[in-house]
Structure 1
Amino acid sequence: MDRLQHSAWRHVAELLPPEDLPMLAAHALVDGRDSPALRELAGLPRRSDETEIRELYVQALHELGIPLPDEETAGRWLLVNLAFGLAKGELGPKDVADRLSMTVAARTPEEIQFLSIAADYSEWMGPDELPGWENDLRTSAHSLTASTDLGSLIGVPGSRGD
């Protein structure tokens, strides 16, 4: 999966700041992607109008034949991305809880379990509760990453389906 395809779900999940899109477009041009909107987007300063940036980004994806996922799919990809980040040690349990957003979605039993455990985090957890929650979240993340086929779709190398 190239960086533009990977960026599509991040855009829908609202994880991709508009000011990062011109540089993303410039990298895509270097990678060999090309379209009129992509060139125009790559030439914009980071501080350009956010609406213009977003519109050019969506137009560039359209011109390149890269579909934007629906919100539920993007939300599931976000959840799976968090699970892979935790399972690989790139994120800590609190990082996962902090990165949950309204765009997160869950459909499979493993996704539902991971989301449920992650959402149980509270800053008022006592020192005796926190290790158990962290262990449960890690166990659930490993279960989710082993069972999902979404990892390859969000650009996780070595995931099931690669």
Structure 2
Amino acid sequence: MAGSVRDLFSTIESFMTDKTARARRSTDASEDYTAADIEVLEGLEPVRRRPGMYIGSTDEKAMHHLFAEVIDNSMDEAVAGHATWIEVEFDKDGFLSVTDNGRGMPVDTHPKFKNKSALEVIMCTLHSGGKFDGKAYNTSGGLHGVGVSVVNALSEVCEVEVARGQQL
């Protein structure tokens, strides 16, 4: 027991010595650190750079999480009484298709983004969706505004077909 405590203290001491040396080196380099070194990620780039922040990891379980995000949107429509059926297909090439008879995502121009449809905003803008104020859904699954945009960001191919008012 005493040996393991000694080993622990030795490890901490080594770490602190290394940390002090690193701090001295970084102080010398701080003059090279400017506003130009600050990177701002926009759009879906944060998701692509750090997918684990949004879906927990990058393994097979994370892929299942992406599928669940898409399916959750249809389930929300059904739970709210706007859809009576949901069809989920997963083909041999790994493509997921989810179809329902719900209202469909809005495709008209979004009031905040005059040159974009609501569909484009939903698919390409983090933190956009109809579930924030509670008006659209009393109960909902998913990540509330990041789900399907994260799916889009992390998918090699992402196609959306929306049928509204008898039009596709």
TM-score above 0.5? no
User: Higher strand fraction: Structure 1 or Structure 2?
Assistant: 2
Structure number with greater Rg is 2
Greater RCO structure (CA 8 Å; 6+ sep)? 1
- TM-score (normalizing by structure 1): 0.25
- TM-score (normalizing by structure 2): 0.24
